[in-house]
Structure 1
Amino acid sequence: MKKRDFYFDNVRFVLTFLVVFGHLLRPYITDSPLNYALYMSIYLFHMPAFILVSGYFAKGIMRPGYIKKVAGKLLLPLIIFQIIYSFFYFWIEDKESITVSLLIPEWSLWFLLSLFFWNVLLFATIKWLKPAAAIVIAIIAGLLIGLIDESIDMLSIGRTFVFFPFFLIGYHLKKEWFAPLFTLPVRIVLLFTAIGLFLFFYQHTNIQIEWLFGSRSYEELQADPLSGIVWRSLIYIMNVVMIAFILSIVTHKRFFFTTWGQNTLYVYLLHGFFVQSSRHVDSLELPPSLFALFAAASILTFILSSPITASLFCPVLEQKRPGFLMKKGDRIT
């Protein structure tokens, strides 16, 4: 029996925690250079790294029925949660009417739609292009999508093209290529580079955070086409450096939270209800303390990635019976 590699479970858990922490931190970055620099540093890598890892585990894409299976696991939960979030925002923001749109994903739901599109694009690139050519074309497309004047938030088009290079690179990565990241010299270089980027953002708090979202056109970011492409190129470079940094410091050892790294999608989809509630309900507002935000993110991540949560919500996200109704031999993967 093949021994499970705990490394990627740890990576996914750490990245998911940082997604939650980053969302909780967002309201407190305006007046704090420290919080701003921390937020920007996290956003340079947490989703790009998550997407890269997702691509790494898409190596079975050429199997018959793979795309159909992916569509069922991503698009059905997307529609369900899109409707739920519409009702949730109607209540939490005290709106006059309920608006349900399947064209613009609510908040973090963009990831589900983009993940489906990435798989489709990956299938096409594998079939028609060599890896190097596909990656170059994907990067060029990611740079050029910002030139569109219309909203690129529709159907998550902007994020799909901006982040597709990471999914594609992840797919083509081989396990042995990660080895250099764990050598001491590389770790030291990456650590000091990460510190340098943090200090850069600490000193330059006027950079729009939307540059890291991938959902805005260059025009919306008040940039002309040339400067927009240059900025996006620099961000790609910083993305790669910070991805390498976080991957280099995650351990291969098994911890109590390691197996919970298999349930990251539950955290990603469910934490938004708690985060948005803390932003809109005064009694649920969190104190502007990094320790408090870290603690809240930890508790929320632990609860939502626990086997109990996975068991309760697997009918929606995995189209399976709840764990407590499963027969012996059934298993949530």
Structure 2
Amino acid sequence: MAAFPRTTWTGMTNPTTPKIRNTSIDNIKAVLIFLVVFGHLIEIYVGEDHVLRSIWIFVYSFHMPMFALMSGMFSKASWDDKNATQLISTVLVPLIGFEIIYEATEFALKGTASVYAGLVAPYWMLWYLLSLLCWRLLLPLFSRMQFGVMLALALSLAGSYSEHAGYFLGISRTLIFFPYFLLGWKLGPDIFNVKKKERLLVSAVVVVAALIAAFMLKSDFDYRWFYGSYSLHRLEMANLTGSMYQLLQYAASTVIGLSVLYLLAQKDLRMAQIGKRSIYVLVWHGMALIILQETGVLRAIFKHENTVALAVSVLVSMAITWVCAHEKTEALTKRLILDPLAWLLIPQTVSKPAGLVIDAQDVQKNPVQQEP
């Protein structure tokens, strides 16, 4: 059987980026994927505790927008046979493979298809892979427009008015987060190479202010805005005020997110190995959380007072991230899932690049009933 093409994650590459390992980028990716795990772990319990809720809102204010931005930052605005093959092997193959795995798990646990299948939507966190596939396909077109980011923003705002916007095929999220992806492509990774004390100070002030603001929000704040899967009609704001609120959210998420990324880029956090394999954390952490939920471990964690629950949540999230990003997890995933599926989907006569180090540098809910 032909091996799964050992290629970098082409969803995150930039043709102008030199093929040099940048540990700052890997560290950023590691922190972002950890926040994805942590956010999902505490999500269904945030309504029970003000501290957890505030931290969760702070995390969700920037982590997925910046994930999309990082993907765009390392994406190619070109299209040829090599890029097409890489896109299939590094995005479509994991999407199909893990869609089957998670739906089969849901059926085994509950005897029925998931709520996502009923909505004709990717399973939980897998929406990101489908959206990434769409973004990569659209990038060659939008990159040739003078105001591509503005058009993407306009499409996002217009699409939010549709009563059909929601989970279906992840279309809503694809539109909502596409401007961040395009902005990332425009900015490129070099923005993190500029080290100025003034920028560092401003970034620190922005992050602290955002965290304080999250704690000061009223308990009735509608955090569904952060999901990107709700239409303005469902949010009961299908009017000019709703659009202005969306624009404010775009601005806030961009400023907060870039400030966080800039701070993270200043130090070597020694998490580069996790960042290199962040895709495996993305696709596997849902299974870890399903197991914790079904065994009652999550409920046990949040029976403790908030300080203990928060500390344990961080430790458990770190453990899940580490295990999912381990080189043995990568090897087993490729051998048992990705290799066979790639062999079925990719014609063996097609010349395939060699390495699956899913890597932003070289090229770049569920049984728990959570929101992705």
Residue 252 of structure 1, CA deviation = 5.6
Matched, 1:34 2:37: no
- The whole-number CA distance in structure 2 between the counterparts of 1:27 and 1:152 is 20
CA offsets, 1:69-121, max 9 Å, x none?
213322222222222211222344x34x3365693111001001000000111
**Structure-2 change in CA distance of 1:3 and 1:76 (3 Å):** closer
Question: After superposition, what is the alpha-carbon deviation per residue over 1:112-156, rounded to whole angstroms, capped at 9, x for unaligned?
Answer: 1000000111121124x12xx101101111111110011431111
CA deviation after TM superposition for structure 1 residue 60, in Å: 5.9
- 2:325 aligned partner: 305
For residues 140-186 of structure 1, the C-alpha deviation after alignment (integer angstroms, 9 at most, x for no partner) is 11111110011431111000010001111111223433344x42222
Q: In the alignment, does 2:113 pair up with 1:98?
A: yes
Q: TM-score, normalised by structure 2?
A: 0.79
Which residue of structure 2 lines up, in the alignment, with residue 135 of structure 1? Answer: 149
In structure 1, the residue corresponding to 2:241 is in which secondary structure?
Answer: helix
Distance 1:46-1:149 versus aligned 2 partners, 3 A rule: same
Note the 1:198-237 alignment, pairs <5 A.
198-204=211-217, 205-237=219-251
1:79 and 1:210 mapped to 2: Cα distance?
27
Stretch deviating more after TM superposition (106-115 or 31-40): 31-40
Against the structure 1 CA distance between its residues 297 and 158, is the aligned structure 2 distance closer, same or farther, given a 3 Å change threshold? same
Alignment of 1:87 with 2:104, yes or no, is yes
Select the residue among 261, 270, 290 that pairs with 2:310. Answer: 290
CA RMSD of aligned residues (A): 2.4
Aligned-pair CA distance for 1:23: 0.7
Aligned to 1:324: none
Contact 2:207–2:260 (8 Å) recurs in 1: no
Task: Say if 1:158 and 1:37 are closer, same or farther in 2 by CA, change over 3 A.
Answer: same
Picking from 197, 200, 206, the partner of 1:193 is 206
Task: For 1:11-90, list aligned pairs within 5 A.
Answer: 11-59=28-76, 61-90=78-107
Which residue is 1:327 aligned to?
A: none
Listed one character per residue, the Cα deviations across residues 213-234 of structure 1 (whole Å, up to 9, x for unaligned) are: 1111011112132222111111
Does residue 332 in structure 1 map to residue 356 in structure 2? yes
Matched-pair contact (CA < 8 Å) for 1:17–1:301: yes
Range moving further from structure 2, 75-84 or 114-123: 75-84
Check 1:256–1:7 CA distance in 2 against 1; reply closer, same or farther (3 A cut). Answer: closer
Distance in 1 separating the partners of 2:77 and 2:140 = 10
Structure-2 change in CA distance of 1:214 and 1:192 (3 Å): same
Further displaced range: 242-251 or 264-273: 242-251
The one of 268, 279, 285 aligned to 1:265: 279
Percent sequence identity is: 27
Query: 2:161 aligned with 1:161, yes or no?
Result: no
1:149 and 2:149 are equivalent in the alignment = no
- Superposition pairs for residues 311-326 of structure 1, below 5 Å? 311-315=331-335, 316-317=337-338
C-alpha contact (below 8 Å) 2:69/2:183 kept by paired residues:
yes
Q: SS at the partner of 1:141?
A: helix
Which deviates more from structure 2 when the two are superposed, residues 235-244 or residues 26-35? 26-35
Distance 1:88 1:175, change over 3 A: closer
Q: Which moved more, 1:183-192 or 1:63-72?
A: 63-72
Q: 2-side partners of 1:45 and 1:163: how far apart?
A: 11
Q: TM-score, normalised by structure 1?
A: 0.88
1:183 equivalent to 2:200? Answer no
Q: What is the one-letter code of the residue matched to 2:244?
A: V
Give structure 2 stretches of 5+ with no counterpart.
Answer: 1-17, 303-308, 344-353, 358-372
- Is the alpha carbon distance of 1:308 and 1:197 closer, same or farther for their aligned partners in structure 2, counting shifts above 3 Å? same
Contact 2:65–2:180 (CA under 8 A) maintained in structure 1:
yes
The answer as to whether partners of 2:281 and 2:324 remain within 8 angstroms in 1 is yes
Query: 285-294 or 303-312, which moves further after superposition?
Result: 285-294
Residues of 2 paired with 1:78 and 1:313: CA distance?
13
Sort the Cα spacing of 1:98 and 1:33 in 2 relative to 1 into closer, same or farther, 3 A: closer
Q: Contact conserved, 1:38 with 1:198, CA < 8 A, in 2?
A: yes
